[in-house]
Chains A and B, each alone.
Chain A
Amino acid sequence: MLADLISRVVNLLVFAGLATALLFIWRTPVRSQLQALRWQAFALAELALLIAFVRQEAEPFLAAVWLASVRGCAVPWLCWRLIVRQGKPAVNSASVDPAIRLVSAVGLVVVAYVVLAPIADLAHSTAAPLLPSALATVLIGMLAMIVWQHGASRVLGLLVIANGGMLLGLLATPGVLGAIAPGLLLDLFVVVLLLGEVACPTLAHDGAMATLPAGEER
């Protein structure tokens, strides 16, 4: 009974991760995208907490704390603060229509299921059938990096990719910290890119324009 309940909750949380990715690709305002990312991060954190509870291990618990604090709170907050500070437009523009974006995203979900179907069939794990959802999240993140024209949204697409990778790591190898931890490096990429995309003006670089002597290359 408990095992059945846990299985249903895992299904729900994985579905939430995929649904928020679809929401991210569909919604145009940056604020809505940040909200979708928050929900996705919290869904993953809850999944990691559940795994920690079931397996009685510390590593998924640490992953849950990281997901909730960094990807759920810190990164969206940082992104919004930087956008507001720079006065950047908070409405996105995409190179394709919303309908085409959604259809493409659904197509990628189908592709993910086709690609990972052999693993889902053969792997002796209750979480194996959910692996294609994780790959679909990664592919939707890549689609987001292509279609969105706002720099911050492209960078946030990277976060969707990272969440998909984390989801795959949690489902495939819940007890293997080594498969989960590298995904945390992707958070560093995201923060670096966000800072570069909408950089705080008081952060002084050794900028080429500012410090080169006359006659030196640009």
Chain B
Amino acid sequence: MKILDDKKINEKVFAGRLSCQLPVYIVPKPHYKSMYAVLAIKYGSVNRNYFLNESYHEMPSGIAHFLEHKMFDMPDGTNTLNEFSLHGADCNAFTSKDLTAYYFDATENFSENLEILIKMVMTPFYTEESVNKERGIISQEIKMVEDNPSFIAYQNILTMLFGDCPVSEPIAGTQESINLITPELLYRCHENFYRPRNMALAIVGDLEPEKTFNLADLYLKKYYDDSASPTPVPDALVCNRAARTRKTTEYASVSAPQLLFAISFTPQLVGKNYLKQKLTAEFTLQILFGPSSDFYAKNYCDNNIRSDFGIEVEYISNISFIILGGETKNPNILADFIIETLDSAKEQINSEKLERTKRAFIGSYIRSWEDFEEIALSFIEGEFYQYNPLDIYTISQSIEVADCLNFIYNDMSKNRAISILLPQKE
């Protein structure tokens, strides 16, 4: 293992690769009782279609999420959630657009819980009966999610920005698509994607790094991933949309109108360039729309925005976009203000504001190093997007006004989406 360290914040990270080829990151946290481990697969809802051995394979939408649900069943009929409980651990999982993650946190029995986690994720077991039962449960989940106004607005944004493309599909799929999922397809996806070279393990807690590394190596020994064996290549996301502003307005079960405003941009795909662009985008948006901005001051006092007004920069595989919004008295006026602010970015962004934003970032960066889940997931993302999270501090402080303006005027596209939700009439 090699040691990555950040003397500024007094953290050491042990990074290595197990003999089965799985990348591992261990962050020792002396004197803490909690221990956290996450095993993630670089396989999310957008990766459903892929090339393998020169043929193209199309899988039903929602398969990565379905697979995640089924991982908790073991061949001996037990459910691993009980196993974790018995060993004093809290376990959960999630599927996102670009990855699936299984994690636990515990204050005891770390090695036993790690073994359960690894065995669970590496052991596929699907039957007709269990798949049919899960279909019923997921069908309920889809219904619940489809009722959620936030989901409706976000879906509208994706469809407007990216059209008919896997990124626009709901993670859980649709009622129709989940009917096409069979045990055979699940086995195939597990075999193709749940393999050490396509995964990463991150562990945080009061643990001895060498010992923990060797333990993980032992539990994963039999899953050696030969680089010579054929590897599936997920289809790149192709979203051919004529660049223009699109808008939808609909009624939903909300107590006040809501606005979401998004713009796609050309992503830096991996590495330090990715990190720099992401931080530049975040700082630029904070300067233009954050709580210290003129935009925020004007609109907060006019009650055009509330304290739930959010700003996100999202990267999914080879596409990316910024998204802002929240509750508002008048969504159309707010959308106009956003456009006006973007159009006057050159006047809004100066070095005084940028320096203040970079300084404010230091506090949130330091806070992030106290949240075990955040630490672990940042190393997972770093592995999948090929960067070292410990570079974040230096890169953040190196950003200049020219970088912010470059993001606005060169990276950001003319492809814009506006989603408005209005309260249902009584």
Do chains A and B stick together as partners?
A: no
Q: Which residues of B contact A (CB under 8 A)?
A: none
Q: Which residues of A contact B (CB under 8 A)?
A: none
